[in-house]
Amino acid sequence: MNAYSADEMMTVAAARALEGHRTCFVGIGLPSLAANLARATTTPDIVLVYESGTIGSKPPHPPLSIGDGVLADTADAVVSSAEMFNYWLQPGRIDVGFLSAAQLDRHANINTTVIGDYRRPKVRLPGAGGAPEIAASCGATIIVVRHSRRVFVDRLDFLTSVGHGDGPGSRELLGLRGAGPTMVITDLGVLEPDPATMALVLTRVHPGVEPERVREATGWPLEVSDRIATTPEPTAAELAALRRLAS
């Protein structure tokens, strides 16, 4: 058995989720590490796209921000942000978007704007950036986030990026192109939207994690699939590639 942390299990699971995809619009932080691990392991030909206008970036280490020079230095092409959004993202040319969240609700709506009242917040977060457009227009969205009641809340303090809105039909009513969040990957397991309600359901736990632990870390009564699975452990090759990237 390989020794690994909960964060490493989450990152490996997220990297595996990109297998079969051709293009990925990448958020900074956990999503970027997972996307670059996918490029180093399961999906070497995936084209990573960043909000700053870099297409096909191959950073040897996780970028510090979308303005990190390593993204442009290793890219196949660099275009303006306006072209990135107007030509590549909004017309539906990107398979999957990789995002994170400060708060997430049962329909996978995202808050990255403020904690507390908008006018007098307890914490002012980095903001929307390109996340609302990524959530709206990518073919699908995968969210990578650590699991806690602070993040998985019954009600968002602010809705930054629409996941599945209020439930079935919300995205269509808003005219959003993409399918929305298809998977939420955390350090405890994997959640997916129920086809009937579009509410998140726990479908997989990571090794050593019991479903009740995930429910206790969630701010609403989380449904658990009656066919819940366990994530395969990271392989030695996956861990070695991840640790090279993170070092």
Cα separation, 133 vs 120, in Å, equals 26
Torsion of CA 129, 135, 138, 143, to 10 degrees: 100
Mean pLDDT of 134-138: 95
Considering the domain 6-246, what is its CATH architecture? 3-Layer(aba) Sandwich (3.40)
Across the chain, where does the E strand assignment appear? Answer: 23-26, 47-50, 54-55, 77-78, 96-99, 103-104, 110-111, 114-116, 121-124, 140-144, 181-185, 189-193, 200-205, 223-230
Reported confidence tier of residue 62, pLDDT bands at 50, 70, 90: confident
**pLDDT of residue 157 exceeding 90:** yes
What one-character-per-residue DSSP string does 152-202 give?
A: B-SS-SS--B-SSTTSTTHHHHHT--S--EEEEE-SSEEEEE-TTT--EEE
Rounded Cα distance, 240 and 243, in Å: 5
Average pLDDT over residues 29-42: 91
Catalytic residues: 51
Which range has highest mean pLDDT (1-15, 24-38, 179-193)? 179-193
Mean pLDDT along residues 232-239: 96
Mean pLDDT on 117-129: 93
Confidence of residue 152 (pLDDT cuts 50, 70, 90): very high
Tell me whether residue 174 is exposed, middle or buried, using C-beta atoms within 10 angstroms of its C-beta: 0 to 12, 13 to 18, 19 or more: exposed
| Contact present, 55 and 38 (Cβ < 8 Å) | no
| Residues in the chain, total | 247
pLDDT on residue 65: 86
Calculate what percentage of the chain has a pLDDT beyond 90: 89
Q: CA nearest 89: which of 50, 39, 129?
A: 50
Predicted confidence at residue 25, as pLDDT, reads 95
Amino acid of residue 245: L
pTM here is 0.95
| pLDDT for the residue 30 | 85
Q: Domains of the chain: which residue ranges? A: 6-246
Whether the per-residue pLDDT at 39 is higher than 90: the answer is: yes
Query: How many C-alpha atoms does 16 have within 13 Å on its Cβ side?
Result: 17
Residue 1 has pLDDT above 70, yes or no: no
- Distance, in Å, from the CA atom of 231 to the CA atom of 8, rounded to the nearest integer, reads 12
User: pLDDT tens, 158-199?
Assistant: 999 999 999 999 999 999 989 999 999 999 999 999 999 999
pLDDT at position 132 is 95
